[in-house]
Structure 1
Amino acid sequence: MSSRIHAFVFLCLRLTLSLVLAVSLMPSPASAGSLSANTVAKVQRAITFQQQNKWQEARAVLEGMPTANLYPAKNYDAAFVHRMLGSLYWQLEEPNKAIKALRSAVDSHELEQSAQRSAQRMLADILLSQARYDEALTRYYSLTADKPQASSDQSVLTKELADIWLRIAQAHYQNQQAKQALRAVEKHLSLTAAKVSSLSLKLGAQITLKHWKGSIMTLKQLLRLEPTNKTWWLQLAGSYQQLNQPAKMLNTLVLATREGIKLSSSEKKMMAQLYAQQGVPEKAAALMHELNADEAKAGSLAIEASYWHKAKEWENAMASWQRAAEKDNQYRLALAQLQLQRGLYRDALVNFALVTEQNQEAPVALAQAMAYAKLGDLDNALQHAKRAHEIEPTAQSESWIQYLSH
């Protein structure tokens, strides 16, 4: 999730800065009146080049001005030119020069309030794009503390402040400060409608902090916005798992499939396990049977067989044990035992004879004795009961010997 958030942050910054750049190169009537005549002429020439996408020419004009070399800016003309240069350097993909120029303009405090705020925002955004999170945060927080002009449009100010709090949240998150990121994104959400971008950032912080109850609420909001996003469904199930709520975990996966979400084989196995845990082994078995329809591994077939067994679907259980045993002989014993239990004595004897595990010799011999006894073959029954007793004497084998001998 962190990489997705980082990519989203960078994309937003590129779009924001591109818009800011277009505005920042155009002096307002008020600022033009405050500039010296020589500076106005040079600025207008640079703007003409910029409108023609001649960025290098615009840069040469501004860098050739005496005020461009005043670091830090000593007057309004220098601050204005540095602000324009900062925008140009960013457009020319020279972020370090952009930061230096904008910092000079902002820290001079020579710009009028709206231009000062715009430059400070651009500087913060570029710092964030360059992973200089602490510096970016200092700039962003100063913007939240600024008192806006009384004549400003309140809705515009609210939107701007919401955007700044989102940037603060992104910077804290990338700086591995999940608690501060969560606090900032909540301030953002108090000012504007929730979007996938802000909610996914909030979710990332909640998961980092292991705030599982909060993450569930956030994921439900995300699902209202993106009901077919598989990631949100799986993360919701994962949050319920962290809270040890398997019933809600299962319900989440069921709702996801109804929404058309395609689960992977491992996810379906997890769902089957949850069905079994919740006392619905027949659904667990049916789900595993669907998974095992083609070439399935022996272990997966054995799981299916065990679920059919719990559901008392004996025919299905034996069929699954048979498939598992054909792939791995260790499951032969389970098949034979179930056949013995269901009265299929001759089939059971065939499969008991195929059991190869040495540690099972005694119980296998005793089970064979039982099968032969049921078939009325008492001589073979006694022979196998004695063999079982020789391998591992037990009260049960001794009891069978006494019974068969008389």
Structure 2
Amino acid sequence: MNKAKLKNTVKAISVVMGLSVSILVAGFSTASFAQENGNERKTQRVPTLRGKVYEQLSRAQNAADAGKPKEAFSILDEVKDKASSMNSYELAMMYNFYGFIHYNLEQFDDAIASFEEVVKQQPIPTSFEQATLFSLAQLHMMRGNYDSTIEFIEKWEAIQRQVTPGADIPAKNLVLKAQAMYQKQDYAKASTYINAAVEQQENSAEGFQVDENWYVLQRAVYFELKQPEKVKDVLLKLVKQYEKPAYWIQLAGMYGELGDEKQQLAYMEIAYQMDYIATGSDIFNLSQLYYYHQIPFKAALLMESGMQQGKLTKDERNLTFLAQAWSFAKENEKAVPVMMAAAKLSKDGELDSQLAQTYLNMEKWQLAIESSLTALEKGNLRNEGTVHLVLGMAHFNLGDYTVALNELAEAEKHTSSRGMAKQWLKFVQTEQASTERLQAQLGSSEPSGNTYLP
């Protein structure tokens, strides 16, 4: 059996968390390996994988590849029955196959147990041992065993320090440790590890791009550490390198957190121009930004478009905001039907009160009165005095001085409307007196009824 065929056949693959694919290859020839001895590792000879054992493992591999895991396990069990006559390398490869098949069957706890048996067999090649340790760290991470994740990664690193003293810890190790620390809610340590991994990758001579998920983890850690400026900096990198819609929205949100509303609006506007504002919540948020920055017309148009596209429901909240945007934009004719629709959905009289004020501004006195009465009937008003004030002003403009004075007197009873009500009371009383005097004068100048005949 030649080495090339063996290399393609005898292998164990671990793919966990999307972080790595490790291919472990056995060899027939006697190989050297580093055996731990205190703080040093001395070179020793690795036992060979004998052809007879290889053939059995190869049969198990073929059965597993053919989708026959029971047959594969049966073959491995036959090999295991002869464990007393097998060397450490052969035992490790056997347990590695057990782990590989368990993993493919998503029997992850059994896979962990098998891979742990692999590293117990000594001596085995250093590369084999390290790859298995890393696979164990990944599997424990997937199973939520975060302390075990760190334990196996650090065992990997201990071997690496002895094999290659002074070498940097690989970035993939740092990321895995950062993930475990993040899940343990030790955000300070998670930050140390993920920052080191990102820095190592960004400064690498090969110029490799930092993995997107590393930045995502780094952003999450900074967020938990309440460091919004650093969250923003990571998002700037994500926007530049990956340009996903969500990153633009999140970046705009972070500028909002930092109190830089101009930049927040700028990035949301860019996202809108790139068709990244796709969800109802994003449409509503951008509309609010337009409104806040004194651009109510654009706010109203965007809200209306969102409703027409079915991305925003025509519920009380959305209709109320749309009506407010149209009112702020001095588009009362457009605001009124929207506000009427919102008022019909509302159980309290607040929207009817706002509608009455809009009608008053439009000089539609009778409609202002009707909406005010509906508001009072529904109740639960934030400021009932304002409704009475509107009623007083509307009745005054219709020439109903007595009703107007009664409503203004009611408005005067409420603190928030008292000052305005007093001014209007004086004004209406003055106007009423003037009207009465004028009517009296006109009445005294009328003919007495005695007609002079020539």
Distance 1:109 1:117 in 2: 13
- Tell me which structure has the larger Cα radius of gyration: 2
Pair 1:120 & 2:136 matched? no
Q: Which residue of 2 aligns with 1:397?
A: 425
Tell me: CA distance 1:249–1:82, structure 2 relative to 1, closer, same or farther (3 Å).
Answer: farther
Letter paired with 1:237: A
The answer on whether the counterparts of 1:82 and 1:102 sit within 8 Å (CA) in structure 2 is no
Q: Please provide the CA RMSD for this pair.
A: 3.5
Pair 1:297 & 2:303 matched? no
Structure 2: state its 5+ residue gaps.
1-14, 33-43, 65-71, 202-208, 377-383, 413-420, 435-454
Distance 2:114 2:401 in 1: 99
| Identity value in percent | 17
Greater relative CO (CA pairs within 8 A, separation 6+)? 1
Tell me: CA distance 1:85–1:136, structure 2 relative to 1, closer, same or farther (3 Å).
Answer: farther
The answer on whether the counterparts of 1:59 and 1:85 sit within 8 Å (CA) in structure 2 is yes
Q: Which residue of 2 aligns with 1:4?
A: none
Query: Which residues in structure 2 correspond to 1:6-405 (within 5 Å)?
Result: 10-12=16-18, 16=21, 19-20=22-23, 23-24=24-25, 26-27=26-27, 29-31=29-31, 34=45, 40-53=50-63, 55-67=72-84, 78-93=87-102, 95-96=108-109, 98-100=111-113, 102-106=115-119, 110-145=123-158, 146-147=160-161, 161-192=170-201, 193-227=209-243, 229-293=244-308, 296-318=314-336, 320-325=338-343, 330-342=350-362, 344=363, 347-356=364-373, 357-358=375-376, 359=384, 362-372=388-398, 380-389=399-408, 391-392=410-411, 394-395=421-422, 396-405=424-433
Structure 1: state its 5+ residue gaps.
1-8, 69-76, 373-379
SS at match of 1:49: helix
The answer on whether the counterparts of 2:323 and 2:335 sit within 8 Å (CA) in structure 1 is yes
Distance 1:333 1:95 in 2: 64
* TM-score with structure 1 setting the length: 0.76
Distance 1:217 1:232 in 2: 12
Deviation at 1:194, TM superposition (A): 0.6
SS at match of 1:147: helix
Return the structure number with greater helix share: 1
Which deviates the most, 102-111 or 85-94? 102-111
Tell me: CA distance 1:139–1:354, structure 2 relative to 1, closer, same or farther (3 Å).
Answer: closer
Tell me: CA distance 1:28–1:211, structure 2 relative to 1, closer, same or farther (3 Å).
Answer: farther
Tell me: CA distance 1:302–1:121, structure 2 relative to 1, closer, same or farther (3 Å).
Answer: closer
Aligned residues: 367
Which deviates the most, 257-266 or 323-332? 323-332
Which deviates the most, 352-361 or 130-139? 352-361
The answer on whether the counterparts of 2:16 and 2:135 sit within 8 Å (CA) in structure 1 is no
Deviation at 1:184, TM superposition (A): 1.7
Deviation at 1:137, TM superposition (A): 0.8
SS at match of 1:353: helix
Deviation at 1:297, TM superposition (A): 3.4
Deviation at 1:140, TM superposition (A): 0.8
Distance 1:47 1:119 in 2: 18
Distance 2:90 2:369 in 1: 92
Distance 2:389 2:109 in 1: 78
* TM-score with structure 2 setting the length: 0.69
Tell me: CA distance 1:44–1:288, structure 2 relative to 1, closer, same or farther (3 Å).
Answer: closer
The answer on whether the counterparts of 1:95 and 1:126 sit within 8 Å (CA) in structure 2 is yes
Distance 1:189 1:318 in 2: 55
1:59-93 CA-to-partner distances (Å, cap 9, x unmatched) read 1243123348xxxxxxxx64323421331121231
Distance 1:337 1:166 in 2: 60
The answer on whether the counterparts of 1:325 and 1:332 sit within 8 Å (CA) in structure 2 is yes
